[in-house]
Amino acid sequence: MMREFVCHKTEGAYAYLMDSSRLNLSLKAKRGYLKSCCLLYGDPWEPRQPLRKRRMRKVAGDDLFDYFSVAFKIPFSRRLRYAFILDDGYERFWYTEGGFHSKQPATEEMGLPFFQLLYMRESDVFSTPNWAKRAVFYQIFPERFRNGDETNDPPNAVQWGSLPATAETFLGGDLEGIIESLPYLSNLGVNAIYLTPIFSSPSSHKYDTQDYYRIDPHFGETSTFCELVRACHHSGIRVVLDGVFDHCGFEFWAFQDVVQKGPRSKYKDWFEIYSFPIKTHPAPTYGTWGKNIWQMPRFVTSHPEVKKYLIDVAVYWIKEADIDGWRLDTASEVDHEFWRDFRRAVKAAKAEVLIIGELSQNASPWLQGDQFDSVMNYPLRGIIADFFAKGSIKAEEFDARLARLRMQYCVQTNEVLYNLLGSHDTVRFLTLCNGDVRRMECALIFQMTYIGMPAVYYGDEVGMIGSGEWTDSRRGMIWSEDEQNRELLDFHKRLIRIRKSHEALTHGDFTTLHADSATNTYAYLRSRGEGRVVVAINNSCETQCLTVRSGRIRRGSRLVFTDLLTGEKYRADEGRIQVSLAAYKGVIFSGNP
């Protein structure tokens, strides 16, 4: 027995309430080490009662670990003590909080050595907005999306379609343009939009805020924004705003007071001031976002007045415009207590508000139910890009990295992660694919059928390109149908329609069915109750034939599965589906036993 190969904790993704009545317990062990894993459990206040037993299922595996899980209804008046029976094929042993044992620990006494959850409270359930599980997002960079009101254009605006050169290049996009585009968005099928900052700012990106209570005049007025939100809600579309609360703009009124009054300013403690007078060059004499980006002074978010001001801003726009959520910029650079107070305030203002943090690392500390509902899933984007766009990893590594990422979080979190292929801060995904639309379509099939909220970056659906220079990935939206990739647009529409039509894709479990690096083919099952969707993808340059199982099924049954993309019928004998896939193609099967 090699004890160092096994791990469980009574916290985080290892032990959590799925809802008010169900508990999920997980354990990880060295890959291939355990032949079986069972849970023994009982009431800690009834130590003489026999322990119950449940077999744990291997739900995932990466290059280092296998993950075993079991979910069940909470017994014993919401309290539990438990241990694991592990079998490595040579010996059987018991794993408890007190260590490893060659025989079952005595059950007559309360307390150690068992793992214990002495009281599971309903208030500890990590709950997220119900609508988010069914969300398909569309990210809009307002200045570059559509010009609906030329009377509010910046005086130096260039012609639509010109390539933006700097952050100060303006095309004239505005909120009226988004309102005019709602029929397009509805036809695309998205039901949530995320807008990058819309508050008063001198730049095109608006991440250097001047006034958090004022819509940028080149975008419109507060009344224009409220009209946009009302029109979106009428069309069944939620609206999430970008909140820049780590830093402000150089022209922000409180920072300007510090610039003008120096150490006499009553706002000097709102910012990280190194020395007076305030200087921007050769290096700022104050803390900034990024490395010496003088246009973006950093807030001291732990300061009570700063915290109150910024949280009041967040609540104001919920009440004033009835927005549905906040995407929080550079969220990892703000202290945790700020976000805890932020969550309490915005959820009190509107319970179904969605909070999405911008983080690129393991976000577990922010996803314990006291701060964010979701994060931008940049790690997933990296995995998708490596497999589909760059071809730098094969199917087995792709599956392993997905498993490792998925097992970091509880189910509730995975279901609402913001799964993006691109954003205003990334290379356009089609550019990553070297213009190969087939590769992008394979990635889209995966994105739209995986766990989490899929998100489309404006213009990706019509084949827009853009390099690593952030200004290039923020080109003006292509509205001329002659210049759009209409086939790619129709492909997005079909995938979004498929996702929204199958509960297995929005609420279902994920099971890997096939991962073959030799052929670079991949298949998986999404299932919820009796509903199931099987997805198979050939991510290679040659036609591949593969056989995949549709999950557990009655012996002797013969079903007909339909490819939701083409309508083609496939026969499944005892749950096995044989399919031939052309290079860089995928199928989405739907069927019920």
- Per-residue pLDDT reduced to its tens digit, 422-447: 999 999 999 999 999 999 999 999 99
Point out the domain boundary residue: 440, 475, 501. Answer: 501
Q: What is the mean pLDDT of residues 377-385?
A: 98
Residues 67 and 190 in one domain: no
99 in any annotated domain: yes
Least Cα distance to 372 among 404, 412, 406, 402 occurs for 412
**Measured between alpha carbons, how far is 463 from 486 in angstroms, rounded to an integer?**
9
Q: Catalytic residues, which ones?
A: 329, 358
pLDDT-derived band at 593 (thresholds 50, 70, 90) equals very low
Indicate the pLDDT class of residue 49, thresholds 50, 70 and 90: confident
Encode burial over 544-564: b for 16+ CB neighbours within 10 A, e otherwise. bebebbbbebeeeeebebebb
The answer to whether 466 and 473 are in contact (CB under 8 A) is yes
DSSP one-letter code for 458 = T
- Residue at 535 is within a domain: yes
- What CATH number is attached to the domain comprising 293? 3.90.400.10
Q: What pLDDT is stored for residue 106 in this prediction?
A: 72
* Domain membership flag for residue 317: yes
pLDDT class for 77, splitting at 50, 70, 90? confident
pLDDT at site 166: 78
User: Domain range spanning residue 279?
Assistant: 247-300
Structure token pair of residue 85: 């029976």
From the list 425, 450, 459, the residue with the least C-alpha distance to 524 is 450
Mean pLDDT, the chain, integer: 93
Q: Is 65 found in the same domain as 181? A: no
> Over 50: is that where the pLDDT of 172 sits?
yes
What residues have CB less than 8 Å from 49, skipping those under 6 apart?
Answer: 42, 43, 107
Identify whether residues 365 and 379 lie together within a single domain: yes
The pLDDT of residue 558: 59
- In this structure, of 15-19, 291-295, 500-504, 545-549, the range with the lowest mean pLDDT score is 545-549
State the pLDDT at residue 2.
67
User: Of the candidates 124, 150, 178, which is a domain's last residue?
Assistant: 124
Q: Within a domain: residue 333?
A: yes
d(CA 367, CA 370): 7
| Whether residue 307 sits in one domain with residue 277 | no
Predicted local confidence at residue 113, as pLDDT: 84
Q: Is residue 470 in a domain? A: yes
- Decide if 506 is inside a domain: no
Please report which confidence band the pLDDT of residue 365 belongs to, taking 50, 70 and 90 as the band edges. very high
pLDDT at 549 over 90: no
Amino acid at 57: R
pLDDT in tens, 293-328: 999 999 999 999 999 999 999 999 999 999 999 999
Q: Which of 285, 300, 315 is the C-terminal boundary of a domain? A: 300
Do 106 and 28 reside in the same domain of the chain? Answer: yes
* Contact (Cβ atoms closer than 8 angstroms) between residue 444 and residue 478: no
Looking at the domain assignment, is residue 131 inside a domain? Answer: no
Say which CATH number the domain at 38 has.
Answer: 2.60.40.10
Q: Which helix (H) or strand (E) holds 223?
A: helix 222-234
Is a pLDDT exceeding 50 seen at residue 377? yes
- In a shared domain, residues 210 and 324: yes
Domain co-membership, 16 together with 103: yes
At 580, is the secondary structure helix, strand, or coil? strand
Can you tell me the mean pLDDT for 323-340? Answer: 97
Tell me which range, 30-34, 255-259, 289-293, 559-563, is most confidently predicted by mean pLDDT.
Answer: 255-259
Residues forming beta bridges with residue 281, ordered by sequence position: none
| 150 and 271, same domain (yes or no) | no
Q: How far is CA 425 from the centre of its chain?
A: 16
Q: What is the percent of the chain where pLDDT is above 90?
A: 82
Q: How does DSSP assign 306-362, residue by residue?
A: HHHHHHHHHHHHHHHH---EEEETTGGGS-HHHHHHHHHHHHHH-TT-EEEE--SS-
Q: Which residue has the tokens 């009570």?
A: 304
Q: How far apart are CA 86 and CA 306, in angstroms?
A: 52
Quick one: how far is CA 447 from the chain centroid?
A: 11
Based on the domain organization, do 217 and 318 belong to the same domain?
Answer: yes
Residue 151 has pLDDT above 50, yes or no: yes
Structure confidence at residue 569 (pLDDT): 86
Average pLDDT on 355-364 reads: 95
- What's the mean pLDDT in 398-412? 96
Determine the average pLDDT of the residues in 3-21.
91
**pLDDT band per the 50, 70, 90 thresholds, residue 526:** very high
Q: And the tokens for 314?
A: 């967040």
- Tell me: pLDDT of 85 over 60: yes
Q: What is the mean pLDDT of residues 526-536?
A: 91
Q: Do both 324 and 378 map to the same domain? A: yes
Of all residues in the chain, the percent with pLDDT exceeding 70 is 97
**Residue 267 near residue 352 (C-beta atoms within 8 A):** no
Q: What DSSP designation does 236 have?
A: T
Q: CB neighbours (10 Å) of residue 514?
A: 19
For residue 45, what pLDDT is reported? 87
Using DSSP, state whether 420 is helix, strand or coil.
Answer: strand
Q: Convert the pLDDT of each residue in 467-522 to its tens digit.
A: 877 789 999 999 999 999 999 999 999 999 999 999 999 999 999 999 999 999 99
Phi, psi of 142 (to 5 degrees): -55, -40
pLDDT band at 592 (very low <50, low <70, confident <90, very high): low
- What's the total number of domains in the chain? 4
Pick the residue with more confidence: 531 or 556?
A: 531
- The mean pLDDT value for 335-351 works out to 97
257 and 365 within one domain = no
Contacts of 183 (CB under 8 A, 6+ apart): none
CA distance linking residue 403 with residue 383, whole number of Å: 11
Regarding whether 422 and 327 lie in a shared domain, the answer is yes
Q: Would residue 129 count as lying in a domain? A: no
Measured in Å, how far apart are the chain's first and last C-alpha atoms? 41
